[in-house]
Structure 1
Amino acid sequence: MAKIANVDLGDFPLLLAPMEDVSDPPFRALCKEQG
């Protein structure tokens, strides 16, 4: 089970982190929309 600080990420964590100059604006907008 993965944890970051006191946040439990479950057994199969999936983190989406948009990176400037790497991912495109539609991907970053989708990440923002989905929380």
Structure 2
Amino acid sequence: HITWGLAMAFLVEEGIGILQSVEPPPADLPIC
């Protein structure tokens, strides 16, 4: 990912409500 310029990451915590939760990845997401 560094070769694509993606050398940064965000840490996201789960919230309480439905709008504060992280959605699961799509089923067709390729493995890195």
Report which of the two has the higher share of helix: 1
Normalising by the residue count of structure 2, what TM-score does the alignment of the two structures yield?
Answer: 0.26
Structure of greater Rg:
2
Q: Which structure's relative contact order is higher, taking Cα pairs within 8 Å and 6+ residues apart? A: 1
Report which of the two has the higher share of strand: 1
Normalising by the residue count of structure 1, what TM-score does the alignment of the two structures yield?
Answer: 0.27
